[in-house]
Each structure stands twice: as structure tokens, then as C-alpha cells.
Amino acid sequence: MLRVEALTKRYKTGDKALTDVSFDVPSGQVVGLIGPSGAGKSTLIRCVNRLVEPSSGKVFLGDREITRVGRGELRRVRRRIGMIFQEYALVERLTVMENVLSGRLGYVPFWRSFLRRFPQGDVDKAFALLDRVGLSDHVDKRADALSGGQRQRVGIARALEQDPELLLVDEPTASLDPKTSRQIMRLICEICRERGLPAIINIHDVLLAKMFVDRIVGLRAGRIVFDGPPDALDEEALTAIYGSEDWNAMRKEADETAKDAAEAADFEARAQAGAA
């Protein structure tokens, strides 16, 4: 379980990115982190694994206080936290399998990683994960030959190769089309529930978040202004997070976009079936 207590991040300029942020994420729960640009969503995720150092507050993973460990111990703590990035963060010239196995770099001696001679158990686990994310036919393909959705699936498998106790996901669908975005969100949430893995997903698409996550935390100006189930995210809550807007009009526009995407996918499927 993740526990965040009164987390604050103040920059040298005096600006606050986060102010007294507190929440828990129990095992198996997927939390969608939403809010306008500059609300502090990415800063919060990076403070949890200390890619950004918080100014004050505490972060616990299980009984371990992450914010107290020194640099040497921090490397071992980060092995317990899987990270999935918006821009995939793959090594383009390496194969899919080699990218997934890089999730074990914190566990194996340097000579093994340098020679790419990972223990057979790690390799077997990587094969199983690639099968789970639907990439068993792409094991030897270079990362730069993959589509955006396939790259994100590699990123998911790599994070799981770490055997994490927490998953942090930063804008996993920002560069993907609507159909692929739904597939990726469904995959992440299913895997977290299968493994009892707590997760925080920083996501800009509110409707996508409502469709898949268990709970939504809304940030505005570095403070939590909403924390509840997706069905409680009504117009009042959205206004508190994003400010005044015609939410009904936006919802209709989003519904039309989803309908167009579904029709396009259906047309493509029928075209492929006809070609076969």
C-alpha cells in the first residue's frame, strides 16, 4: 500500500507545485490523477519515487518511508516501483525482449546486464509478460519498428519485469489514438487487479479515466480538490478541478468522437475480413 502524508513541493523561486497532499492507495486499487496543466500531477508522481525531491511531507510504501532513505538505499527502493512513461523511454536500437529485460537492471550484476546474459528465470518471466501484453510475436523486433501502442505495451511489460509493489503511470495514452488508448488503459487496470498492484495513473482524458479506474483524485494548483469514485465526478466536481466549462457540450463532443472511432474500427475490421 502507498501512503502520502502532507506532501509539499516548493521550488527555489518560491512557487509551490504541491501543497499538503495526502492520500492512500490500497493494494489492487487503480487511481486516476486528473487536473489541468500545471496542477502538479507529474510532480506528485515524481515525488513519490523521488525523481523530484519533495520539500516536506512523507511517502510510505508499505512500512517503508521512502522520503527518509539515503541515496544508496533509494536505488533498492526504486526497484519496488514500476514506472510507465508517456514517451515510452525505450532503447530504440534494442529488441523488444532486451527492453523488457532492462527492468531487471536493478537486480543483476553489471557484467550480466553489459553482456545481456540475464538469468533464465528473468528471461522466462519476460516471455510470459510479453504474451500477457500481446507481443509474443514481436520478441526479436527492434523497438523503433513498433507502433505507439506496441511501444507502450513493451513499457508495461518492462515495468512488471521489476516485480513492483507500486505502479506509477505518466500520461500513458497521450500519444495514442482513441481505440488504442482504451486498450492500453484496460490492459493496465486488468493487470493491476490480477496482481493486487496499487497504481497511480496521471491522465488528461477524464472520460477515459472514468471508464477504467477505481478512484479519481483531482488536483488544482497543487492541492487535492476531489477524491472519490468515478461516478461522483459530476459537473460541480469538474468545475472545482478545471474551472467553469460547458461540460455537457464537451461530453457530447467526446461521445461523438468515441462513436466515430468505433465506426472506423468496425470499418477496418470488415475491410480486413473481406481482404482475407
pLDDT digits (tens, 9 = 90+) for 148-202: 899 999 999 999 998 899 999 999 888 888 889 999 999 999 999 999 999 999 9
Stated pTM of the model: 0.82
Q: Find out whether 28 and 192 touch, Cβ atoms under 8 Å.
A: yes
Residues 72 and 169 in one domain: yes
Q: Find out whether 251 and 245 touch, Cβ atoms under 8 Å.
A: no
Short-list 96, 78, 202, 75, CA closest to 158: 96
**Amino acid at position 29, single letter:** Q
Give the distance between the most distant pair of CA atoms in the chain: 62
Residues 183 and 234 in one domain: yes
DSSP one-letter code for 109: -
Q: Which stretch of 52-66, 117-131, 202-216 has the lowest confidence by average pLDDT? A: 117-131
pLDDT at 87 (0 to 100) = 74
Q: Choose one of 163, 180, 205: the last residue of a domain.
A: 163
Instruction: Name the residue range of residue 149's domain.
Output: 96-163
pLDDT at 23 (0 to 100) = 96
- Pairing relation of β-strands 199-202 and 16-25? unpaired
pLDDT at 111 (0 to 100) = 44
Residues 223 and 270 in one domain: no
Q: CA-to-CA distance for 173 and 190, rounded, in angstroms?
A: 16
Residues 203 and 253 in one domain: no
CATH number assigned to the domain comprising residue 191: 3.40.50.300
Residues 239 and 268 in one domain: no
Query: What residues are paired with 74 via a beta bridge?
Result: none
CA Rg, the chain, in Å?
20
Residues 180 and 139 in one domain: no
- Tell me what the mean pLDDT of segment 58-81 comes to: 87
Residues 182 and 53 in one domain: yes
Residues 67 and 191 in one domain: yes
Q: CA-to-CA distance for 79 and 162, rounded, in angstroms?
A: 6
Sequence-ordered list of residues with C-beta below 8 angstroms from that of 117, at least 6 positions apart, any chain:
111
Q: In degrees rounded to 5, what are phi and psi of residue 167?
A: -120, 125
Residue 75 pLDDT level (bands cut at 50, 70, 90):
confident
pLDDT digits (tens, 9 = 90+) for 206-255: 999 999 999 999 999 999 999 999 999 999 999 999 987 655 555 555 55
Q: CA-to-CA distance for 219 and 242, rounded, in angstroms?
A: 9
Q: Which stretch of 11-25, 27-41, 90-104 has the lowest confidence by average pLDDT? A: 90-104
